[in-house]
Structure 1
Amino acid sequence: MPAVAARAGVAERTVYRHFQSERGLRDAVMVHLEHEANVTMDGLRLENVAEVASRILEHSSRFPLVPRTQRDPTVAATNAKQRHALLAAVEPHTGSWSRDDRTVAAAILDLLWSVVGYERLVSDWNLEPQDAIRGTAWAIRLIEEAIRSDRPPAHPGR
């Protein structure tokens, strides 16, 4: 709350007058962001998931990305090694694709096998570890199939 007050240029007491707790402030911010992004989870249908995800990420991209933790050199080196390996694995099957599409495909594979994603599946979705692994492998196989079938990531409007 002190940081919010300082950033807004008001006394901390003023923030507490409007929001009784940090949770109340965070909830209000999320409602505001959902409204700004024109996103609602009420009535979400499968055919709208990609569109809603695009809106959420498009809106999020307007804010500066600040890493939550300092990058550990060992982890950064391992991540670089994984990026190079994925790009090398994708490249032979994507000769007609643009460099950007090839990089997007490799990056999505990297995202899918991330430990952070696995932790979210187990913690937030309460999946059993084997189900989280099975689901992740399923999604990776779908991306592999798209790559082998020469179906690059869709561009907006296509």
Structure 2
Amino acid sequence: MPEEKKAGAAGPANKRKYHSPLREKQREATREKIIDAGSELVHSMPSWDWRNLNAEVVGKHAGVSERTVHRHFANERSLRTAVLQRLVEESNINIERLELSDFGRTVGTLLRYLQSFSVASTSASDPLMDDIDRYRTNALLDAVVRATPDWETHRQENAAALLDILWQPQLQERLTQVWGFDGDRTVHLITWLFDLMDDAIKHNRSPDIGPNS
């Protein structure tokens, strides 16, 4: 008669999964390879329309299967978010707590970084771009509020909205494509405009126009 198993003995279902540091390292390397491929594709896109940035296209560019991409990213949105985060890291821009005193330098850094893209049009047609807009406008408004604690809300909003114009790639496009200015000249002119606004804010001057005017 076969000997009975001792109570508490580990069966197949209770076996502990083996953690392989090498396998984990390979998995992380594959994930980074996929994100790098997505970043390269965005840099070469003719517009900011990310609808074609999907697992099939990114996987092909990375040299992995679409199935492999989906093992690392559950859906297209998570893939695009990871690629966007990589672009933010590449830009060396941090607007988590933007200060007006740093805004000119931040805009200059952003505009120089945008020159590394092939985008011919900045018209956004992806919800992810809307998220970026909200993130940026909130950071701008927070910076203005901290710099102008005694201003009425509508004056703070006016200043933040005008600063937002200086942040828009369309302004850079206008100067480079219509006026034919090179990148350095464009960045210099836009930061000069910021200096004018920064001086106005420091001297308590703003467009005093309310929401119902």
Equivalent-residue separation in structure 1 for 2:128 and 2:163 (angstroms): 21
Aligned residue number for residue 84 of structure 1: 138
CA separation of 1:70/1:115 partners in 2, compared to 1, >3 Å: closer, same or farther?
closer
- In structure 1, the gaps of 5 or more residues are 1-68
Give the deviation of 1:71 after TM superposition. 3.9
- In structure 2, the gaps of 5 or more residues are 1-122
Identity percentage over the alignment? 30
CA separation of 1:82/1:70 partners in 2, compared to 1, >3 Å: closer, same or farther?
closer
Equivalent-residue separation in structure 1 for 2:131 and 2:198 (angstroms): 25
Larger radius of gyration: 2
Equivalent-residue separation in structure 1 for 2:137 and 2:159 (angstroms): 11
Alpha-carbon displacement from aligned partner over 1:86-121 (angstroms, at most 9, x marks no partner): 011111222222211111111111111210110011
- 1:153 and 2:207 are equivalent in the alignment: yes
Equivalent-residue separation in structure 2 for 1:95 and 1:73 (angstroms): 33
- More displaced, 144-153 or 127-136? 144-153
Equivalent-residue separation in structure 2 for 1:132 and 1:106 (angstroms): 21
Aligned residue number for residue 107 of structure 1: 161
Given residue 100 of structure 1, which amino acid in structure 2 is its aligned partner? Answer: H
Alpha-carbon displacement from aligned partner over 1:40-69 (angstroms, at most 9, x marks no partner): xxxxxxxxxxxxxxxxxxxxxxxxxxxxx6
2:204 is paired with a residue whose SS is coil
Given residue 135 of structure 2, which amino acid in structure 1 is its aligned partner? Answer: K
Give the deviation of 1:154 after TM superposition. 4.5
Equivalent-residue separation in structure 2 for 1:102 and 1:153 (angstroms): 10
Correspondences of 1:1-158 after superposition (within 5 Å): 71-155=125-209
Structure 1 moving runs of 4+ over 3 Å:
none
Equivalent-residue separation in structure 1 for 2:184 and 2:125 (angstroms): 29
CA separation of 1:71/1:97 partners in 2, compared to 1, >3 Å: closer, same or farther?
farther
Given residue 110 of structure 1, which amino acid in structure 2 is its aligned partner? Answer: D
Structure 2 length-normalised TM: 0.39
Structure 1 length-normalised TM: 0.51
Count matched residues: 88
Give the deviation of 1:143 after TM superposition. 0.7
